[in-house]
Chain A
Amino acid sequence: EVQLVESGGGLVQPGGSLRLSCAASGFSFSTSSMNWVRQAPGKGLEWLSYITSTSTTLYYADSVKGRFTVSRDNAKNSLSLQMNDLRDEDTAVYYCARGLEWSDGFFDLWGQGTLVTVSS
Protein backbone atom coordinates (compact mmCIF):
# COMPACT_ATOMS: atom_id res chain seq x y z
CA GLU A 1 0.00 0.00 0.00
CA VAL A 2 1.23 3.47 -0.88
CA GLN A 3 1.37 5.42 2.37
CA LEU A 4 3.13 7.79 4.70
CA VAL A 5 2.96 7.30 8.46
CA GLU A 6 4.10 10.00 10.86
CA SER A 7 5.17 9.43 14.44
CA GLY A 8 6.91 11.21 17.28
CA GLY A 9 4.33 13.80 18.24
CA GLY A 10 3.40 14.55 21.82
CA LEU A 11 3.43 17.11 24.61
CA VAL A 12 6.54 19.22 25.04
CA GLN A 13 7.32 22.30 27.10
CA PRO A 14 8.16 25.64 25.51
CA GLY A 15 11.83 25.72 24.61
CA GLY A 16 11.96 21.97 24.31
CA SER A 17 12.77 19.70 21.37
CA LEU A 18 11.00 16.94 19.49
CA ARG A 19 11.87 14.77 16.52
CA LEU A 20 9.17 13.69 14.11
CA SER A 21 9.50 10.76 11.75
CA CYS A 22 7.67 9.79 8.59
CA ALA A 23 7.82 6.22 7.30
CA ALA A 24 7.18 5.76 3.59
CA SER A 25 6.06 2.59 1.87
CA GLY A 26 4.66 1.38 -1.44
CA PHE A 27 6.46 3.84 -3.70
CA SER A 28 9.96 4.92 -4.68
CA PHE A 29 10.82 7.10 -1.70
CA SER A 30 14.42 7.57 -2.82
CA THR A 31 13.33 9.42 -5.97
CA SER A 32 10.65 11.57 -4.33
CA SER A 33 10.96 15.05 -2.91
CA MET A 34 9.32 15.40 0.49
CA ASN A 35 7.77 18.14 2.59
CA TRP A 36 6.45 18.92 6.04
CA VAL A 37 3.18 20.82 6.40
CA ARG A 38 1.40 21.69 9.62
CA GLN A 39 -2.07 22.71 10.70
CA ALA A 40 -2.75 24.48 13.98
CA PRO A 41 -6.01 23.47 15.70
CA GLY A 42 -8.95 24.84 13.76
CA LYS A 43 -6.67 26.70 11.35
CA GLY A 44 -5.38 26.39 7.81
CA LEU A 45 -2.37 24.70 6.30
CA GLU A 46 1.19 25.99 6.57
CA TRP A 47 4.07 24.61 4.51
CA LEU A 48 7.23 24.23 6.62
CA SER A 49 10.01 22.45 4.82
CA TYR A 50 11.14 20.80 1.58
CA ILE A 51 13.90 18.31 0.84
CA THR A 52 14.91 16.94 -2.53
CA SER A 53 15.32 13.21 -3.15
CA THR A 54 19.09 13.35 -2.62
CA SER A 55 18.99 15.90 0.24
CA THR A 56 20.98 18.36 -1.85
CA THR A 57 18.40 21.13 -1.53
CA LEU A 58 16.53 22.13 1.61
CA TYR A 59 14.02 24.93 2.06
CA TYR A 60 12.28 26.23 5.17
CA ALA A 61 9.47 28.61 5.95
CA ASP A 62 10.63 31.74 7.75
CA SER A 63 8.56 30.75 10.79
CA VAL A 64 10.77 27.71 11.48
CA LYS A 65 14.09 28.59 9.85
CA GLY A 66 16.96 28.11 12.28
CA ARG A 67 14.84 26.02 14.65
CA PHE A 68 13.68 23.07 12.52
CA THR A 69 15.87 20.73 10.45
CA VAL A 70 14.61 18.30 7.84
CA SER A 71 16.54 15.17 6.89
CA ARG A 72 15.96 11.83 5.23
CA ASP A 73 17.38 8.32 5.10
CA ASN A 74 16.62 6.77 1.74
CA ALA A 75 17.94 3.39 2.84
CA LYS A 76 15.28 3.32 5.56
CA ASN A 77 12.53 5.09 3.54
CA SER A 78 12.33 7.62 6.31
CA LEU A 79 11.90 11.38 6.62
CA SER A 80 12.56 13.33 9.82
CA LEU A 81 11.94 16.76 11.26
CA GLN A 82 14.07 17.85 14.19
CA MET A 83 12.26 20.65 16.03
CA ASN A 84 14.15 22.75 18.57
CA ASP A 85 13.23 25.79 20.67
CA LEU A 86 9.56 24.96 20.41
CA ARG A 87 7.00 27.69 21.02
CA ASP A 88 3.31 27.72 21.88
CA GLU A 89 2.52 28.66 18.27
CA ASP A 90 4.15 25.45 17.03
CA THR A 91 1.22 23.48 18.41
CA ALA A 92 -0.29 21.74 15.39
CA VAL A 93 -0.83 18.53 13.51
CA TYR A 94 2.29 17.88 11.45
CA TYR A 95 1.96 16.14 8.09
CA CYS A 96 4.63 14.76 5.83
CA ALA A 97 3.72 15.03 2.17
CA ARG A 98 5.24 13.81 -1.07
CA GLY A 99 6.02 16.22 -3.87
CA LEU A 100 4.10 15.59 -7.08
CA GLU A 101 6.60 14.01 -9.45
CA TRP A 102 5.71 16.07 -12.53
CA SER A 103 5.02 19.30 -10.70
CA ASP A 104 7.23 19.46 -7.66
CA GLY A 105 5.88 21.80 -5.01
CA PHE A 106 2.42 20.33 -5.01
CA PHE A 107 1.63 17.46 -2.64
CA ASP A 108 0.00 14.29 -3.91
CA LEU A 109 0.41 11.93 -0.95
CA TRP A 110 -0.07 12.86 2.70
CA GLY A 111 0.33 11.03 5.97
CA GLN A 112 -2.38 11.00 8.61
CA GLY A 113 -0.51 13.53 10.73
CA THR A 114 0.97 13.58 14.21
CA LEU A 115 -0.08 16.08 16.89
CA VAL A 116 2.52 18.25 18.60
CA THR A 117 1.38 20.19 21.65
CA VAL A 118 3.68 22.83 23.11
CA SER A 119 2.53 23.79 26.57
CA SER A 120 3.84 24.21 30.09
Chain B
Amino acid sequence: EIVLTQSPATLSLSPGERATLSCRASQSVSSYVAWYQQKPGQAPRLLIYEATYRATGIPGRFSGSGSGTDFTLTISSLEPEDFAVYYCQQRFKRQTFGQGTKLEIK
Protein backbone atom coordinates (compact mmCIF):
# COMPACT_ATOMS: atom_id res chain seq x y z
CA GLU B 1 0.00 0.00 0.00
CA ILE B 2 1.21 3.48 -0.85
CA VAL B 3 1.29 5.65 2.27
CA LEU B 4 0.77 9.39 1.97
CA THR B 5 2.14 11.54 4.80
CA GLN B 6 0.84 15.08 5.10
CA SER B 7 2.55 17.91 6.95
CA PRO B 8 2.01 19.79 9.06
CA ALA B 9 -0.86 18.17 10.92
CA THR B 10 -2.17 21.62 11.81
CA LEU B 11 -1.38 24.94 10.19
CA SER B 12 -2.38 28.20 11.91
CA LEU B 13 -2.54 31.23 9.64
CA SER B 14 -4.47 34.45 9.21
CA PRO B 15 -6.69 35.52 6.30
CA GLY B 16 -4.61 37.00 3.52
CA GLU B 17 -1.58 34.86 4.29
CA ARG B 18 -0.12 32.20 2.03
CA ALA B 19 -0.64 28.54 2.94
CA THR B 20 1.68 25.74 1.90
CA LEU B 21 0.59 22.14 2.58
CA SER B 22 2.79 19.13 1.87
CA CYS B 23 2.12 15.52 0.94
CA ARG B 24 4.85 12.89 0.66
CA ALA B 25 4.32 9.45 -0.88
CA SER B 26 6.09 6.29 0.29
CA GLN B 27 6.97 5.53 -3.34
CA SER B 28 6.68 7.36 -6.62
CA VAL B 29 3.12 8.02 -7.72
CA SER B 30 4.09 9.98 -10.86
CA SER B 31 1.65 12.91 -10.99
CA TYR B 32 -1.39 10.96 -9.83
CA VAL B 33 -2.22 13.06 -6.79
CA ALA B 34 -5.35 14.99 -5.94
CA TRP B 35 -6.21 17.42 -3.17
CA TYR B 36 -9.56 17.71 -1.41
CA GLN B 37 -11.03 20.23 1.00
CA GLN B 38 -13.43 19.13 3.73
CA LYS B 39 -15.39 21.37 6.05
CA PRO B 40 -17.12 20.10 9.21
CA GLY B 41 -20.24 18.09 8.45
CA GLN B 42 -19.64 18.23 4.71
CA ALA B 43 -18.38 15.85 2.06
CA PRO B 44 -14.92 16.42 0.61
CA ARG B 45 -14.56 18.67 -2.43
CA LEU B 46 -12.07 18.03 -5.21
CA LEU B 47 -9.65 20.95 -5.62
CA ILE B 48 -6.70 19.69 -7.64
CA TYR B 49 -6.15 16.52 -9.68
CA GLU B 50 -3.09 15.07 -11.39
CA ALA B 51 -0.98 17.26 -9.11
CA THR B 52 -1.50 20.55 -10.93
CA TYR B 53 -4.94 20.79 -12.56
CA ARG B 54 -7.66 22.76 -10.84
CA ALA B 55 -11.05 21.07 -10.77
CA THR B 56 -14.08 22.80 -12.24
CA GLY B 57 -15.09 25.90 -10.32
CA ILE B 58 -12.04 26.03 -8.04
CA PRO B 59 -10.66 29.56 -7.51
CA GLY B 60 -7.29 30.49 -8.92
CA ARG B 61 -5.77 31.04 -5.47
CA PHE B 62 -5.50 27.23 -5.17
CA SER B 63 -2.56 25.66 -6.96
CA GLY B 64 -0.78 22.33 -6.86
CA SER B 65 2.72 21.24 -7.70
CA GLY B 66 5.03 18.26 -7.49
CA SER B 67 5.68 14.86 -8.99
CA GLY B 68 7.19 11.57 -7.91
CA THR B 69 6.96 11.53 -4.13
CA ASP B 70 6.64 15.17 -3.05
CA PHE B 71 3.56 17.31 -3.62
CA THR B 72 2.40 20.73 -2.47
CA LEU B 73 -0.93 22.51 -2.28
CA THR B 74 -0.60 26.28 -2.14
CA ILE B 75 -3.33 28.76 -1.28
CA SER B 76 -1.94 32.11 -2.33
CA SER B 77 -4.04 34.38 -0.12
CA LEU B 78 -6.33 32.79 2.43
CA GLU B 79 -10.01 33.65 2.44
CA PRO B 80 -12.15 33.01 5.55
CA GLU B 81 -13.88 30.10 3.78
CA ASP B 82 -10.57 28.30 3.17
CA PHE B 83 -10.13 27.21 6.78
CA ALA B 84 -10.85 23.49 6.66
CA VAL B 85 -9.15 20.09 6.54
CA TYR B 86 -7.20 19.21 3.40
CA TYR B 87 -6.46 15.71 2.18
CA CYS B 88 -4.15 14.47 -0.53
CA GLN B 89 -4.96 11.26 -2.42
CA GLN B 90 -3.07 9.08 -4.90
CA ARG B 91 -4.49 6.87 -7.63
CA PHE B 92 -1.23 5.43 -8.94
CA LYS B 93 -1.82 2.09 -7.23
CA ARG B 94 -5.34 1.64 -5.88
CA GLN B 95 -6.37 4.75 -3.99
CA THR B 96 -5.12 5.98 -0.64
CA PHE B 97 -5.49 9.24 1.24
CA GLY B 98 -3.19 11.16 3.50
CA GLN B 99 -4.20 11.72 7.11
CA GLY B 100 -5.11 15.35 6.52
CA THR B 101 -3.87 18.83 7.40
CA LYS B 102 -6.13 21.08 9.45
CA LEU B 103 -5.87 24.70 8.37
CA GLU B 104 -7.07 26.85 11.24
CA ILE B 105 -7.44 30.56 11.85
CA LYS B 106 -4.63 32.07 13.86
Contact = CB atoms under 8 A, between A and B. Distances in A.
Interface of A: 35, 44-47, 50, 59, 61-62, 95, 100, 103-108, 110-113
A113 B87 contact: no
Contacts of A112: 42-43
B64 interface: no
B63 interface: no
Interface residues of B, number: 25
A106 B43 contact: no
8 contacts: A45-B36, A45-B100, A47-B89, A105-B95, A106-B50, A106-B91, A107-B36, A108-B46
B96 A110 contact: no
A19 B60 CA distance: 40
Contact of B95 (A47, A108, A110): A47
Interface of B: 1, 32, 34, 36, 38, 42-46, 49-50, 53, 55-56, 87, 89, 91, 94-100
The residue among A61, A95, A110 with the most chain B CB atoms within 10 A of its own CB is: A110
Contacts of A44: 87, 97-100
A112 B44 CA distance: 9
A49 to B, nearest CB: 10
Contacts of B43: 95, 110-113
Contacts of A105: 32, 91, 95
Given A105-B32, A106-B91, A100 B46 contact: yes
